[in-house]
């Protein structure tokens, strides 16, 4: 079974490929694209074919619905999205399955099973009409503030004031630009989905850093990168080797 992935976030693209490889031995990644243009070119290239297309909504050069307008799609489509119910109704109108980000492996298996069993085709006109009726798509709304419980106080903290968040000795700590440190209950997995990826990057399993907190970067042996942050961190802030390429791409945006 050939799979085509349309996703403009490289980390999300690689994560989906990994989950598919872990759960479906009969799937081959036939191709990937990060934009409407790239997806249309791949789909129109003779010899390229896909049984299932995983498609994010917001791409590098526009919304994925332009792909349906520019080329015929015969494959089953599974949307991977962080959008709310108004958009999900549009997917349902067009007979398109969807998965909410972050993708749950169990939900992924159910979606793929439905694609295997389904004999229907995409109702493109119903999909586009439903999207027009809802005014198109909206970007995901990210967290603007966290509520921090500190001793007998409740502190509303704007995400713009966060320099970095890290895990240490089973606790998660949030550090502000004025060097205040608070314990936060949410896990880094949850927080990384709540923060705007334009401003924050998860450099390792144990640390998320704001781009405004990065003073300089030092190359280390083995391909790792060490970040010199402001305020100065109490731990070695290192970019994992597996995330170096995505980190450098993020820095250059």
70-79 residues labelled b (16+ CB within 10 A) or e (exposed):
eeebebbbbb
CATH 2.40.50.1020, domain 145-252, yes or no = yes
Pick one of 3.40.50.2300, 3.30.450.30, 3.30.1360.230, 2.60.40.1930 as the CATH number of 2-133: 3.40.50.2300
The residue ranges of every structural domain in the chain are 2-133, 145-252
What's the pLDDT score for residue 93? 57
Nearest CA to 90 among 115, 109, 64, 70?
64
Look at the block and give the residue holding tokens 């109108």. 93
- Token digits for 109? 């298996």
> Residue 210: which residues within 8 A CB-CB, separation 6 or more?
162, 163, 164, 199, 200
* Half-sphere exposure at residue 47, Cβ-oriented, CA atoms within 13 angstroms: 1
Please list the pLDDT of the chain residue by residue as tens digits (253 residues).
Answer: 999 999 988 888 998 999 999 999 999 999 999 999 999 999 999 999 999 999 988 887 888 888 988 998 888 889 887 765 545 655 665 667 888 777 888 889 988 998 888 766 677 777 776 666 544 444 456 888 898 887 788 888 999 999 999 999 889 999 999 999 999 988 898 898 889 888 999 999 999 999 999 999 999 887 889 999 999 998 999 999 888 988 998 887 6
Q: How far apart, in whole angstroms, are the C-alpha atoms of residue 53 and residue 122?
A: 12
Nearest CA to 101 among 134, 142, 67, 71?
142
> Residue 48: which residues within 8 A CB-CB, separation 6 or more?
4, 30, 31, 42
Q: How far apart, in whole angstroms, are the C-alpha atoms of residue 2 and residue 12?
A: 19
> 39 phi and psi, to 5 degrees?
-65, -45
Q: How far is CA 198 from CA 15, 93, 203, 252, in A?
A: 18, 32, 14, 11
């Amino acid at each position: 079974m050939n799979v085509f992935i349309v996703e403009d976030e490289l980390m999300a693209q690689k994560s989906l490929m990994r989950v598919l490889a872990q759960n479906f031995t009969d799937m081959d990644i036939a191709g990937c694209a990060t934009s409407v243009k790239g997806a249309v070119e791949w789909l129109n290239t003779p010899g390229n074919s896909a049984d299932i297309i995983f498609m994010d909504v917001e791409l590098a050069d526009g919304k994925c619905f332009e792909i349906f307008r520019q080329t015929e799609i015969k494959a089953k489509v599974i949307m991977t999205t962080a959008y709310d119910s108004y958009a999900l109704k549009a997917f349902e109108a067009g007979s398109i399955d969807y998965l909410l980000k972050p993708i749950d492996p169990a939900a992924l298996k159910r979606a793929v099973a439905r694609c295997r069993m389904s004999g229907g085709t995409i109702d493109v006109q119903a999909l586009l009409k439903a999207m027009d009726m809802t005014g198109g798509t909206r970007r995901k709304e990210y967290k603007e503030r966290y509520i921090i419980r500190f001793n007998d106080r409740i502190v509303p903290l704007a995400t713009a004031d966060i320099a970095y968040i890290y895990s240490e000795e089973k606790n998660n700590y949030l550090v502000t630009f004025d060097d205040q440190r608070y314990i936060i209950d949410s896990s880094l997995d949850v927080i990384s989905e709540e923060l705007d990826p334009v401003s924050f990057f998860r450099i390792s399993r144990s640390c998320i850093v704001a781009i405004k907190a990065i003073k300089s970067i030092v190359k280390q042996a083995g391909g790792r990168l060490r970040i010199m942050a402001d305020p100065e961190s109490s731990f070695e802030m290192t970019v994992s080797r597996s995330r170096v390429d995505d980190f450098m791409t993020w820095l250059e945006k």
